[in-house]
Structure 1
Amino acid sequence: MASLEQGLAVIRDAASALPAMPGVYRMLGANGRALYIGKARSLRARVGQYTQTRHLSVRLQRMVAAVQRVEVLHTRTEAEALLLEANLIKAERPPCNILLRDDKSFPHILLRADHAFPQLLKHRGAQNTLGRYYGPFPGVGDVNRVLAALHKAFLLRNCSDSVFAGRTRPCLQYHIGRCTAPCVGYVDPRGYAEQVGQAQAFLEGRSREVQAALAAQMEAASARQDYEAAARYRDRLRALNSVSARQDVDSATLGDVDAFALIQSDTRVCVNAVFVRGGQVLGARPFFPRHASGESRGSVLSAFLAQFYTSRPPPPEVVLSDAPDDTYLLCQALSARVGRKVSLAVPQRGARRNLLDFARLGADRALARERSARAGHAGGMAALAAFMGLDKPPQRVEIYDNSHTSGQEAMGAMVVAGPEGFCKKAYRKITLRESAPGDDYGAMGEVLSRRLRGGQDLPDLIIVDGGAGHLAVARRAVEAARLDIPLLAVAKGPERNAGLEALHKIGHKSVSLAHNDPLLHHIQRLRDEAHRFAIGAHRARRQKRMEGSALDAIPGVGPARRRTLLRHFGSVRAVADAPEEELARLPGISKTLAAQIRASIYQIYSTFN
């Protein structure tokens, strides 16, 4: 109680000195880290409410007990405070706030407008390229599926500008019927613009209009007995129908809408988001906010929406399963952010209600899958503890692997698993510098020695990808750090067959579990995640080395010319694909240097591949 009284005293003193005006308050702990961030119409009144502990949840009571200082930021309006609060929560991720766990940007489809023959391509990140962006799509798979259908239906190019400029004959995309080959003049700008217009109309929701036009062209071709042309129109129609046929709800009349349905269980909360653009359902994605159990549905949705739209523009209409707290304030803040009206509604009937029911069904299924996965993971951790002779399931398991190509660009990787699954924020990549190239034992020893040197957040169990030799190396690293951490080595089976792994523990003979043993499946899952992360880190470093050295090693190409090349082409790969004539048109690059650049980069890429 002493710490709670101390926290209450800090909050009382801070509240008494605050003005009755809008703003954001930050409850800070002993290390200066924000424990909780909130917004208020009246800072004095809102901060003072935290002294009434009987009205606070257990989570917030613990926060009050840890408070050492209160800081505030003043705003002109409460709507500004709401936006600032969401931005600060996203940046600082305070442990006592409801947090949106997955805040990655969503992919879009980009129809460029800065070229006479525009590309149709996938885009993720800042929308700086001139053109029209369609989305958001929940995942890359959704974008790839739609893009593949659109290329079949509208025959737009997907090659880079440098490849386009250097073509002298049609590429494979033309021969398989996915491009009209504007690069070699098989279609003029006017004809290509008609293709672009059709794609734009489809993406903006006028799908029936586009399908009717293609059907009419197919019938006309068939009437004049041009059956090959009719078959091409038929294939294009089928491609469009493959997109439309996947619509799980009738959304043609909805326009641009986001739908969010919230489902709660005893310990978890799921918010399923469904995106509709141009009357077409682009897909759905479930989210599992942290620190949301025990909170009211309205407060969870309010916090979720504020954070969700900090980096994404909201559509004109958002439909919800429950009314969020401060609905009017959220509408004000979101409208001010995008400069147009944004409405929040809980529909009771019609197409919007059907869309919400679809989102709710997805949330229910996602929560069931999450519950099943968590139960399976918990069971696996309990079985792993029994196998290793631990008193209780480990709270932190670290799994290690290395990756290299003939000893070059060697990288070590550490992934972390906890009671709820993989803790991706704790993953680490280690650039190997001390071990000899190709020395797998030395690499594992270096990774573990460097990891254990700090002595922070030590694991309850270490798993290494390897056999008895790797186990011995891991044991020496742990003993050198004067630690006592259980170790397990997972050796691949004969011919690297999954299901035949040998498990090595210190002081025991190797053990091979039955191929259908749930514990073996759990260990394989942990090992495979480390393997995936290590390979990804190695490939990224290898690609960076290749592209960085490709221009650096060319005589006559200094920092200024390198910047010129990369600004114009965007990447070293695009420079490699560019013809000499285009290189020579850049300022400061002669025909002789252009030929030298082409020859040097070609040699590097050929060696690499």
Structure 2
Amino acid sequence: MIAPIKPNFSEFVATMPGVPGVYLMKDGREKIIYVGKAKNLKSRVKSYLTNDPTRYQLRFLMKRVVSIDYLVCQNEKEALLLENSLIKQHKPRYNLQLKDDKSYVSLKLGMSHPFPRLEVTRHIKKDGALYFGPYTSAEACRGTLDLIYRNFKLRTCSDHEIKNRSRPCLEYQIKRCTAPCVGYVDQEAYAFQVTPVRLLLEGKNNELLQILKQKMEMASAQENFEEAASIRDAIQNVSTTLEKQNVVKHMGRHQDVIVFYQNEDEILVSLFNVREGTLIDSHYYFFILHEPLVFFIENFVNRYYLTMEYIPDEILMEELPENYQLTEDVLSEKKGKRVIIFSPQKGEKFELLVLAKRNAQSQYARVKNKNFEIQEILEGVRKKLGLSHFLHRIECYDISNISGKHATGSRVVFYDGVPQKSEYRQYKIKLADGPNDYAMLKEVLLRRFEHALEEKNTPDLLLLDGGKGQLNIVKGVLDELHLNLPFASIAKGRGRGARAKGVWEGKKEEEIYIPGRKNPIPFKSGCKELMLLQKIRDEAHRFAIKYHRKLREG
């Protein structure tokens, strides 16, 4: 069932059912900007109608909400799964946007082949293979892969290549492979190579080193000194790698540790991955709260683990989510074995929470220091351009074409100096004919700002790649739409790419133009304010070229 909201929010909420379901908040264009689930729809939506002056970001969200729809579900579990599906589908602006599992890399050990191969993948499938990860850093993942290839000599060739080889490849010559492709090692012996690899990737470090030492002693007893030396080197290499890892406690389960550090409407999430007692990775997420904290905690846990293929045995939390038993049931069903979410109050697991909290506080301070620097740069841009309000949202537009063919436009969005890639847009030029960049730019801007007032997401600064001609186009479009927005253009310095009196003039600084001013705004060479504007312009150019190339090659 779907019910549209009435003009008066309070009256509408009073008519909502007190049952499980999902609610969808929409802006003036009926675009979904927030999705939430509730055990009791009426109570949950009512909590947003607050006049608490300390809840700025919550009021910020509700100012943009024009209507609310809701879907009634049979139970809370159905609501949770539907919420996750709708967030994936619509990517609402004010929901938690976390990378899904395809954004991370994992290591895949294909066990269906007689001679398993280890490879990097971004896709986890139920194909009988063993998957290890995910790794947030592709560099760290490939470093692990290189360590394994150097010391355990697994094959690197594809399944197709191994079938068609008649002689060993270079990997065998440099002693990084035992050449199963030509029968230099049988299946049983190769399995002994795979065993320590599995132990390493599963975090069973003590067992791994014990097996390697036994193999080294056996090779030495058989007077196979070259093999013994090779295993000795492997032990040293693995030990060096393990020393860099932080062994936090001697616990045999796979755990994630989650804590939240809040400062007013800002929150930093610290998430540790602990495998077999070893801290193998840490993640930090910074958010602005647009919902009550208790809702945020529940939503973060649900969104994070429903987008990830790998789920640990235990999730340790400083503060348990609302209805955490439901989350346990859903994750247990997904994992195929029991998942426990709990808040330890003492002992080794409690110490993990303390460690994560300490790191969260430290990371928050680093984020704030970085944000402070960005705010200073943006304030410098504001003063240089003579604007009266602070610059949060900057949009930049660029046009790309070759003699009018495959013409495209791009929009990139930076918020507080950070690219918001989910808001990037590509425009295929439909109306403009021939190589007319001005007409193309006008078309793109009209398409973007035609409904801007209804969407309530206009930029604090509109930046164009170009000079005075582009400024005139922007002014015409904004006048036509009765919009009052600050805008500027960034042009290549005069002399760039040109010759004067037969002498190459060389690269000159970018020139920043604003309406009503004949000469460009003077920026000090190499200053951070100019570099930020260049970065935004270059990103718009890169994004436009990417789409233009796609159209040209397609």
> Could you tell me the TM-score, scaled by structure 2's length?
0.79
> Would you say the 8 A contact 2:267–2:289 is kept in 1?
no
> Would you say the 8 A contact 1:460–1:486 is kept in 2?
no
> Would you say the 8 A contact 2:490–2:511 is kept in 1?
yes
Residue in structure 1 matched with residue 502 of structure 2 by the alignment: none
Which AA in structure 1 matches 2:511? H
Residue in structure 1 matched with residue 509 of structure 2 by the alignment: 502
Q: After TM superposition, list the pairs within 5 Å mapping 1:73-84 onto structure 2.
A: 73-75=72-74, 77-84=75-82
Q: Take 1:399 and 1:48, find their aligned partners in 2: how far apart are those partners? A: 38
> Would you say the 8 A contact 1:170–1:181 is kept in 2?
yes
In the TM superposition, what whole-angstrom CA distance separates every residue of 1:150-204 from its partner, at most 9, and x where no partner exists? 2223222233323333444433433444322323333222222221222123223
Matching residue within 529, 536, 542 for 1:519:
529
* Structure with more of its chain in strand, by fraction: 2
In the TM superposition, what whole-angstrom CA distance separates every residue of 1:344-399 from its partner, at most 9, and x where no partner exists? 12223343233333332332233223222222222222212222333334343334
Q: Quick one: structure 1 residues 193 and 44, their matched pair in 2 at CA, closer, same or farther if it must change by over 3 Å?
A: same
* Secondary structure at 1:324 match in 2: coil
Residue in structure 1 matched with residue 488 of structure 2 by the alignment: 486
Q: Take 2:381 and 2:462, find their aligned partners in 1: how far apart are those partners? A: 12
* Secondary structure at 2:135 match in 1: coil
Q: After TM superposition, list the pairs within 5 Å mapping 1:334-373 onto structure 2.
A: 334-373=331-370
* Secondary structure at 1:288 match in 2: strand
Residue in structure 2 matched with residue 448 of structure 1 by the alignment: 441
Residue in structure 1 matched with residue 423 of structure 2 by the alignment: 426
Offset of 1:304 from its aligned partner?
0.8
Offset of 1:110 from its aligned partner?
0.8
* Secondary structure at 1:135 match in 2: strand
* Structure with more of its chain in helix, by fraction: 1
Q: Take 2:204 and 2:109, find their aligned partners in 1: how far apart are those partners? A: 16
Q: After TM superposition, list the pairs within 5 Å mapping 1:21-170 onto structure 2.
A: 21-26=19-24, 31-34=29-32, 37-43=35-41, 66=65, 68-75=67-74, 77-94=75-92, 99-103=96-100, 105=102, 106-170=104-168
* Secondary structure at 1:79 match in 2: helix
Q: After TM superposition, list the pairs within 5 Å mapping 1:160-239 onto structure 2.
A: 160-222=158-220, 226-239=224-237
Q: Take 1:432 and 1:21, find their aligned partners in 2: how far apart are those partners? A: 47
Q: Quick one: structure 1 residues 42 and 395, their matched pair in 2 at CA, closer, same or farther if it must change by over 3 Å?
A: closer
Offset of 1:488 from its aligned partner?
1.7
> Would you say the 8 A contact 1:254–1:276 is kept in 2?
no
> Would you say the 8 A contact 2:35–2:87 is kept in 1?
yes
Q: After TM superposition, list the pairs within 5 Å mapping 1:364-383 onto structure 2.
A: 364-383=361-380
Aligned residue-pair number: 523
Q: Quick one: structure 1 residues 103 and 312, their matched pair in 2 at CA, closer, same or farther if it must change by over 3 Å?
A: closer
Residue in structure 1 matched with residue 382 of structure 2 by the alignment: 385
Residue in structure 2 matched with residue 320 of structure 1 by the alignment: 317
Residue in structure 2 matched with residue 417 of structure 1 by the alignment: 414
Q: Quick one: structure 1 residues 82 and 256, their matched pair in 2 at CA, closer, same or farther if it must change by over 3 Å?
A: same
> Would you say the 8 A contact 1:490–1:503 is kept in 2?
yes
Residue in structure 2 matched with residue 247 of structure 1 by the alignment: 245
- Where structure 2 has 5 or more consecutive residues not aligned to the other structure, the ranges are 453-457, 480-485, 498-505
Q: Take 1:237 and 1:407, find their aligned partners in 2: how far apart are those partners? A: 62
Q: Quick one: structure 1 residues 533 and 173, their matched pair in 2 at CA, closer, same or farther if it must change by over 3 Å?
A: farther
How well do the aligned residues superpose, as a CA RMSD in angstroms?
4.2
Residue in structure 2 matched with residue 557 of structure 1 by the alignment: none
In the TM superposition, what whole-angstrom CA distance separates every residue of 1:424-458 from its partner, at most 9, and x where no partner exists? 1222345689999xx9xx69657634422424256
Offset of 1:256 from its aligned partner?
1.1
Identity %: 29
> Would you say the 8 A contact 1:142–1:283 is kept in 2?
no
Residue in structure 1 matched with residue 483 of structure 2 by the alignment: none
Offset of 1:343 from its aligned partner?
1.1
Q: Does 1:301 align with 2:297?
A: yes
Q: Take 2:404 and 2:234, find their aligned partners in 1: how far apart are those partners? A: 49
> Would you say the 8 A contact 2:115–2:187 is kept in 1?
yes
In the TM superposition, what whole-angstrom CA distance separates every residue of 1:515-566 from its partner, at most 9, and x where no partner exists? 4x33244334434544654676577778xx4xx8xxxxxxxxxxxxxxxxxx
Offset of 1:416 from its aligned partner?
1.9
> Would you say the 8 A contact 2:152–2:197 is kept in 1?
yes
Q: Take 2:35 and 2:427, find their aligned partners in 1: how far apart are those partners? A: 34
> Would you say the 8 A contact 2:6–2:12 is kept in 1?
no
In the TM superposition, what whole-angstrom CA distance separates every residue of 1:392-411 from its partner, at most 9, and x where no partner exists? 34343334568899999997
> Could you tell me the TM-score, scaled by structure 1's length?
0.72
Which AA in structure 1 matches 2:198? Q
* Secondary structure at 2:510 match in 1: strand
Which AA in structure 2 matches 1:426? E
Residue in structure 2 matched with residue 556 of structure 1 by the alignment: none
More deviation, 379-388/171-180 = 171-180
> Would you say the 8 A contact 2:19–2:72 is kept in 1?
no
Q: Does 1:474 align with 2:474?
A: no
* Secondary structure at 2:332 match in 1: helix
Q: Take 1:405 and 1:82, find their aligned partners in 2: how far apart are those partners? A: 49
